[in-house]
Structure 1
Amino acid sequence: MSRLISLRFKKIHLVLLFGCVFLVWNFITFYTLSSKPRPMNTDKEIQLVNQLQALEKAMSKQAEDNRKILSGLQHLKDTNSTNSNMNLTNSNKEGVLPILMIACDRTSVSRALDKLLEYRPSASKFPIIVSQDCGHAETAEVIHKYVVSHNITHLKQPDLSNINLAWPQKKFVGYYKISRHYKWALDQIFVTMKYMAAIIVEDDLDVSPDFFEYFSATYPILQSDPNLWCVSAWNDNGKEGMVSDEAELLYRTDFFPGLGWMIERKLWLELRNTWPEAFWDDWMRHPAQRKGRECIRPEICRTSTFGRKGVSKGLYFDKHLKYIKLNTVFVPFTKIDLSYLEKNKYDATFTKMVYSAPLLSPEEVRNGAQPTSSVVRVEYTTKDSFKRIAALLGIMDDFKAGVPRAAYRGVVSFMFRGRRVFLTPPSSWSGYDTSWT
């Protein structure tokens, strides 16, 4: 097809060339005749002038026709070129997983970028895009150095206006600005740049050596499974001593973890029109957005945070985040069969494994009862009983829209003094109670 178009262009160019030569010759003749000294008017002269005027009119018409032909050909060429470039761009973005880093006023963004660059296997498959809010000049200077040295992209959120809130909400203004920034940044990735998927991180995250490998291997599952809506690098109960050494172990979870997560463009297009003004992560966890969909999460976190400074004033960091264990070994996930994560396989296997474990009280677990059992189960029936058991065994005790952190089908899996514990609802469990908040 392209060769046929090329031949047609060559033929048309030859026709136009001869046409132009003809027009130039006639123009020279006309100019020569019209510029000679004029003798007295005769009938023959009048006849010649009339002929030249007719020729001039014909030349003008031919020139206009040629202009239209050239314009049409140029339009056809431009259209073909644009379509080819669009197809090439879309084709090039298939399988590309950009890293969107949300940044603000931390000059330590360099630490996060250094880790990503250290472990990144391919700049073309994993382009890094830093979206900066706050307008902090020192942080912008740090990011710019990476633009020069590593060809990353630096976006600047244009809306830095104040958000006026009534007194009771004024202390949450930071959460409003974060939500505003996320919406703008995700629009840049999925609406403007039209990437098919993206991995979202923040400027205070370290990543594991297999961070990119993990997302590369789980991306096809995210694409093919309509029951999944995200892949996360985070385990909310991933403290040292509460996870096993099985770095390759992955789970499905009903809880949206965040802190290093991947979504597809189609999900963003679904969410963007109702994006909240604040507390976007809790909004994501609400049934109206989640719609029963799940995420993949690891046993051992593939991210950890070093950002004590933040909108939570460091309280959450000191109490919990600084104890999270970051995976340090490379797991070749792309060479491992992850089909066990497919919902039709996972649910049956997971349920059988959980409810076949011996049932103990939380006090018995703490005291080491049944030491020969490497896997045990503890049951909760109410919100208060869950919180009491969580406090005894050291896991996160809060709920979001009725879902405990890291839970799947109401079950929370963790390690306690060297053995696996499943904190579960009764086997008759029929769904989350959204009043448990």
Structure 2
Amino acid sequence: MNTPAVYLDHAATTDMTPEALAAITAQFATTGNPSSLHTAGRRANRVVDDARIAIATAAGAHPSELIFTSGGTESDNLALKGLYWNRVKANPEARVILVAGIEHHAVLDTVTWLVEHEGAELCWMPVDADGVLDLDAVRALVQQHHEHIALGTLMWANNEVGTVQPVTQFATLLAEFGIPAHSDAVQAFGAVHTNFADSKLAAMSISAHKIGGPVGIGGLLVRRDVTLMPVQHGGGHERKMRSGTLNAAAAAGFAAAATHVTAHRERESQRLSGLREYAIQEILRLIPEAVLNGPRDVENQGTRLPGNLHFTFPECEGDSLLFVLDMLGIASSTGSACTAGVPQPSHVLLSMGRDARSARSVQRFTMGHRTTREDVDALLEALPQAYERARKAGMAADESSIHTAGTGFTR
């Protein structure tokens, strides 16, 4: 199958930058285990050390705080499980995890597993209609229940609607009560300002393939005074928190991408936010009934990811619109899961107060470093006819078949 002419799913994965491709290719031509003591091993170890310094610098962290992982999902698992187990070991009464319904499934499924297997309890934090955390409500929850809270987690920027969260304020609030905070910054790192040292976080997850690095490597930034109970065991690599042979080539590619994206972040943010605003204006002109989800951020003040567009297109199934667009050469995403062939509503939109029907009628368009004005114009040309065709197909499932999850304090 040919790649669509216009790729607008950069939030899922993006092209490797030329710098990252060159770095990883150069390392593929050599060999050596970074843990070995001979010359080849020491050479590979230097590659990893240099990569660690570069990535940590890009993230505003000390090199010793970077733990290499296989990607964002592993980083989230290690952070949440490691923090939870250590907190419960120190205080068996601290079993509550603060979490919002807008999180990526790498977080939601991990905390659900902790509930089902490790005795954790979830406290669902509310968000507003744009998906922004209600800090006042969270403060009230923490003041009332802080003795029982193990940790809190808040994604830095939402992967579906692009909303940027008040992570530093959240982490600072929890720190007042001695509660560690984690953030899934996979979508935010490289797109908006994310400084680990200033954030007051205990841990922060990042991933290479979202910023133009290779698939299969990520990082977990762990503050130097924080220890995580490991999820996997072995040779005691990475501060004894994540055992496993380090991938020097992938680390070099990750570092090259991180260095490049950080150096060009402000300029790229302005470019992408300009394309975003142009696309929003034109989509609303062409399809007046379309609804933008998440904050508009016309002036690019940092409340929305620069390259994120997320719309509700009433009375059509998101998957139907995706497939029609794909046939027209446009790659996009619904951001919603599909179980046993039955379309499901976006859990993010449900948490933002949308009804189940509209939460299934969504489409996400995300731009990256290779996106051009011509790509946006191609979308604008294809979208009205794609919408009409998808709307004629209607909604594929009756609302009675949709299962939704509520929010609230589930202690």
Higher relative contact order (CA closer than 8 Å, sequence separation 6+): 2
Fold conserved between structures, TM > 0.5? no
Q: Specify which structure has the higher proportion of helix.
A: 1
In which range does the TM-score fall when normalised by the shorter chain? under 0.3
